[in-house]
Amino acid sequence: MPKQYDSIFRPGLFAGQSIIVTGGGSGIGRCTAHELAHLGAHVILIGRKQAKLDTVQAEIAEDGGRASTATLDIRIEDDVKRVIGELLAAHGPIQGLVNNAGGQFPAPLVAINQKGWETVVRTNLTGGFLMSRELFLQGMRSSGGAIVNIVADMYGGMPMMGHSGAARAGMVNFTETAAVEWASAGVRVNAVAPGWIASSGLDTYTDPNIRATLPKVRQAVPLKRLAEEAEVAAAINFLLSPAAAYLTGVTLRVDGGSTLNSRMFPLPDHQRSEAYTGFHRAVRPRILDNPPEDAA
């Protein structure tokens, strides 16, 4: 028997439900999709690269779960409308949406041109809005459901990622607004704000200064470590679950307390925080195990 996702949630929690995960081809989206499928959901993986979606779909099938795929650029309104309509026609009511797709590039504000700024804002804010609005209009307005938006640890500013920080802050406010406006339709809207995550995405950063900094970031976290993808997925699945039936408009910070550090209180080094490593297919970023010499 193949190794299974070690979820803390009861088996069959999402049985009979269809749940969309954007950006489901890698990182947090891939992990979340695996846990949802393990808990009985039919997961609809959305992304721009079909090959990555196919890989995750095959992984889920190998583990005994169900997944479908749809290629989509969530920034294009007409395409979002069309794909949501096709998915509802093919699968019936969709009970959950995880707006996980996002992307950015490191740069100081003075080096970001208008095109770069607008591209990141469209990816991290506009795309999530379009997905949420269209699924609400075409489906959830009558069937109800739960939406979870993935934002970021942008509290107190986000140096070198100002375009992303502005977009994510906008998504938090969108979450709060939608939670109020859509409550009467039985739709809950919440957000998860991950801090530093030990995801393979860390290996995509090529800037030498950033690569030298990554192995050191744990020192600024009160729990003195990075999060596992499974710890973020667990928060997402909690917010999708009936246990969160009275939660809406909430942004849950999964950051090891990093946003609470005043920078004035000394943080003693320790190893007292044990990670939850439920994802059996997790890929640890190489940069954390083989840091550049000047990061040691």
How many other C-beta atoms are found inside a 10 Å radius of the C-beta of residue 58?
11
39-61 mean pLDDT: 98
4-14 mean pLDDT: 97
Residue type, 1: M
Q: Is the pLDDT of residue 12 over 60?
A: yes
Q: How confident is the model at residue 97 (pLDDT cuts 50, 70, 90)?
A: very high
Return d(Cα 216, Cα 224) in angstroms, integer. 10
Encoded tokens for 247:
């939660």
17-23 mean pLDDT: 98
The backbone region for 155, taken as left when phi is positive above 0, alpha when psi lies in -120 to 50, beta otherwise, is beta
Of the chain, the percentage scoring pLDDT greater than 70 comes to: 96
Angle at 71 between CA 107 and CA 15, to 5 degrees: 110
> What digits encode the pLDDT tens for the residues 153-212?
999 899 889 999 999 999 999 999 999 999 999 999 999 999 999 987 787 777 787 788
Encoded tokens for 209:
């200064």
Q: Is the pLDDT of residue 112 over 90?
A: yes
Q: How confident is the model at residue 296 (pLDDT cuts 50, 70, 90)?
A: very low
Give the pLDDT score at 264: 61
Of the chain, the percentage scoring pLDDT greater than 90 comes to: 75
pTM confidence score: 0.90
Return d(Cα 230, Cα 227) in angstroms, integer. 8
Q: Which domains does the chain have, with CATH numbers?
A: 18-254+269-295 (3.40.50.720)
Q: Is the pLDDT of residue 130 over 80?
A: yes
More confident residue, 46 or 201: 46
DSSP state of 92: -
Give the pLDDT score at 48: 96
How many other C-beta atoms are found inside a 10 Å radius of the C-beta of residue 286?
11
Give the pLDDT score at 283: 86
Give the pLDDT score at 262: 63
114-132 mean pLDDT: 97
Give the pLDDT score at 216: 85
The answer to which of 23-37, 44-58, 248-262 has the lowest mean pLDDT is 248-262
Give the pLDDT score at 270: 87
The answer to which of 136-145, 184-193, 202-211, 287-296 has the lowest mean pLDDT is 287-296
Q: Is the pLDDT of residue 108 over 50?
A: yes
Give the pLDDT score at 293: 60
Give the pLDDT score at 292: 66
Are 139 and 187 in contact by the 8 Å Cβ rule? The answer is no
Mean pLDDT for all residues in the chain: 93
